[in-house]
Every structure is written in C-alpha cells, then in structure tokens.
Amino acid sequence: MIYLNNAATTYPKPQCVQEACTAVFHRLPEGQFRSSGSFEAGDIFSACQKRLGKLLGIEETKNIRFTSGSTEALNKILYGLGICASRILTTATEHNSVLRPLYNIPSIKGTPGIVPCNKEGKILPEELEQRITPEIKAVVVNHCSNVTGCIQDMEAISEIVKKRGLLLIVDVSQSAGCTLVEADGWGADAIAFTGHKSLFGIQGSGGYYIRSGTAFCPMFFGGSGKDSKRLVYEAENYEYDAGTQNGIGIAALYAAAGYLLERGIEKIQREEQEKIRYLYQELSRIPSVILYGNAEENKGPVVSFNINALAASDTAYILQNSYQIVTRAGFHCAPLIHAYLGTEKSGTVRVGISDLNTWEEMESLVKAVREIGGFVS
C-alpha cells in the first residue's frame, strides 16, 4: 500500500517516534508539576517546548501549551482572546477548525470578514488590507492551505497587520514540520499547530502559543499540580495547563521534533518541493487531469487534482482499491476555498506527501492516474 494522505495524518512515523511511545510504558509516568518521573533529560514537557520553539521560531517556549491538536488549540485561542467574530478578519483558505469556532462559540460567535483567495489558494496582501476596517481587531491566517499547498506571504501579511495594530493569529497545522515557520519573525500573537501531520507526532497531540502581554483567558480550569489551595484567579495569574497532560503524545512529539531538527526543515522542504514539482509536471501532461494551483505558488506538500468525468470520491476509490494508493477526496474541511477553485460539486482528490515518501511512490501515482485518465478520456 502506498500512503499519500499525509496532509490528514502522517504515516508511517519515524522509528524514534515509535520507540518513544513504547518507552512510556516502561518508565515512571511523567506529570507536569506533579512528580519527578524518570525522564533522563529532566522535565519532558519543557524539553518538548524547547524543541518545538526551535521548529516554530518561538523564543518564549514556556508560552507553548499542549492540546489534543490544532482544533482544540484554535478553539482555545479564539475563546481566550474574547474578540467577537464580527471583529475578526480571516481568509477563504481556512479550515473548519477556525471557521466553526467563529460561527459557534457562544461568547464570540458572529460573522467574520473573509478575505478571498485566487485560484491557487493565495491570499493577496492588498485584498487583506482593503478589508481591514476600524472595527477589526484580529486577523487569522492559514499559513499553508491544506487543499492546494499554497504557502502565504506571511512577511507581507504581518507587515500590514502590525501596521494597523491588530492581533495576528496563524494556523501552521499544515506547514509545521515541513516548511519554515517563524512565529517571532512574523510578530505572531498566537500560533496553533497539530502534532500528527508533518511534525510526525501521534494523533491527539498538538498545541498553541500565546505571546506574552496578550490578554488571554483559559477555556478550562481544574487541577494543575501547583498552588492547589487557590480557587479564584486574577487575569494576570491564570494557569493554562489544567488537567493531566498527554504524556505519551508529548513524548512522541519530543522525539519527532528531534528527528526533524536533525534532518533539517530546509532540507525536508527542498526535497518535498522537488517531488511536488514532479507531480505537477507529470500530471499536467495527462489531458483528462485538472490541476489546482501550480508548482511556483503551491510549495507545501500537497497537490489537488480531478479527472474529467469522475467525481473526486470515485477517483480516490479507484486509486485505493485498484492501485493500493491512499489519497483523500472531498472538501478537506475547508469549505470556502472550493468556490475559488471551481470544485464546489465534489471537491478534489488530494495527495499529501511526507518526508518518508519515496520517488518510486510518486512514479506509481503518476502511472496510476495516467491509466485511469486514459480509461475515461
């Protein structure tokens, strides 16, 4: 089986991640602020924060908090900032992990402003700037589209947002681990990430970062393992780690971050982009294939396409059942972008690659799509 659904969750995981998960069951449990445990290098939680800080361009690593993934992280960020959705500007490329909280969290729900994208999924900075009104207080941007792989120009976007004195929230779920992320360089006030995609952690891991000085209220309260007699918090004394942390998920994320730091993000990005360019080049030569985006703009590890006369779900079904190639079909939890791609009817077939995919697998995919396309042309 060839697995090309890495934009949903990566598989397989590096050997060190598998070993880290197994090792958790053979040592004393880690508990943040609760026990010394047996982690050789000290507190695994802070150690993982430090490694993630290097990957995400964050100096204030103590402000990285762990969650079950980016969905929980984005809910916590949007709830905690307490800004009404009608005063938030976001984009047509966003995942439902941003859109649904804005429309549904009771304390902030409303209709956000939406910045359109082009047919590659690119947000034009001038379009964003034109939509900033005096009422807008924050901007939420998806760094890398999970549908087209388009990486946004965060430098230009950040310059506009900061010039207006707005908060900048960046979703790096699709880019963390495979693309340079520079939270501090962007002046980001909040970052959300998931652990189980290109960061190579396991499902149920992820987190967020809040810049010091940003007014932020936790969504959850409960046991934290410290200052247990306190029942009432003042805003400046909030604790953000209520409940038992996901020890196995954090151990896996720590190992995965070590793997990525050793491999080098720039090297990973360069090698993945070579494979993506190959897929664009070869798939574009098949007359019945419709590609969304191009290799110049879409530099994330994602390619979306369709085959004429076939629904996306049918193409994905044939790939998996006749060629043993796993892809993903549909709208990919990003409903707004499809109006700009012209894929509102059935979405796209999405190929998501990882650092562990091979050139032989890329060639097998092209061969399979060529054969399927030949049958329906």
Whole-angstrom Cα distance, residue 312 to residue 328? 9
Which domains are assigned to the chain? 2-7+265-376 (3.90.1150.10), 15-263 (3.40.640.10)
Please choose, from the candidates 219, 183, 244, 217, the residue with its C-alpha nearest in 3D space to the C-alpha of residue 60: 183
What integer pLDDT is reported at residue 27 of this predicted model? 85
- What is the Cβ-side half-sphere exposure of residue 140, based on CA atoms within 13 angstroms? 29
Region 288-309: mean pLDDT is 93
What integer pLDDT is reported at residue 377 of this predicted model? 65
Whole-angstrom Cα distance, residue 325 to residue 3? 6
What integer pLDDT is reported at residue 158 of this predicted model? 98
Residue 303 vs residues 129, 166, 249: alpha-carbon distances, Å: 28, 32, 28
Region 333-341: mean pLDDT is 98
CB 138 within 8 A of CB 109: no
pLDDT in tens, 202-211: 999 999 999 9
CB 197 within 8 A of CB 176: yes
Please choose, from the candidates 309, 297, 299, 305, the residue with its C-alpha nearest in 3D space to the C-alpha of residue 347: 305
User: Which of 20-29, 44-53, 73-82, 219-228 shows the lowest mean pLDDT across its residues?
Assistant: 219-228
CB 11 within 8 A of CB 243: no
User: Which of 202-206, 212-216, 312-316 shows the lowest mean pLDDT across its residues?
Assistant: 212-216
What confidence category does residue 252 fall into, taking pLDDT thresholds of 50, 70 and 90? Answer: very high
Whole-angstrom Cα distance, residue 292 to residue 115? 19
Region 338-344: mean pLDDT is 97
* pLDDT higher than threshold 90 for residue 220: no
Region 259-284: mean pLDDT is 98
Residue 342 vs residues 292, 306, 331, 333, 334: alpha-carbon distances, Å: 9, 11, 12, 16, 14
SS (H, E, C) the chain: CEECECCCCCCCCCHHHHHHHHHHCCCCCCECCCECCCCCCCCHHHHHHHHHHHHHCCCCHHHEEEECCHHHHHHHHHHHHCCCHHHEEEECCCCHHHHHHHHHCCCCCCCCEEECCCCCCCCCHHHHHHCCCCCCCEEEEECECCCCCCECCHHHHHHHHHHCCCEEEEECCCCECCECCCHHHHCCCEEEEECCCCCCCCCCCEEEEECCCCCCCCCCCCCCCCCCCCCCCCHHHCCCCCCCCCHHHHHHHHHHHHHHHHHCHHHHHHHHHHHHHHHHHHHCCCCCEEEECCCCCCCCCEEEEEECCCCHHHHHHHHHHHHCEECEEECCCCCCCHHHHCCCCCCEEEEECCCCCCHHHHHHHHHHHHHHHHHHC
Beta strands 64-67 and 328-330, pairing class: unpaired
Please give the torsion angle defined by the CA atoms of residues 9, 143, 49 and 96, in that order, rounded to the nearest 10 degrees.
Answer: -60
What integer pLDDT is reported at residue 296 of this predicted model? 84
Task: Output 204 or 233, whichever has higher pLDDT.
Answer: 204
What integer pLDDT is reported at residue 31 of this predicted model? 60
pLDDT in tens, 102-147: 999 999 999 999 999 999 999 999 999 999 999 999 999 999 999 9
The per-residue pLDDT of the chain, averaged, comes to 94
Region 251-265: mean pLDDT is 98
What integer pLDDT is reported at residue 150 of this predicted model? 97
What integer pLDDT is reported at residue 99 of this predicted model? 98
What integer pLDDT is reported at residue 41 of this predicted model? 43
Region 295-310: mean pLDDT is 93
* pLDDT higher than threshold 80 for residue 225: no
* pLDDT higher than threshold 90 for residue 253: yes
Whole-angstrom Cα distance, residue 294 to residue 278? 11
* pLDDT higher than threshold 90 for residue 183: yes
> What is the number of other CB atoms lying within 10 angstroms of the CB of residue 107?
9
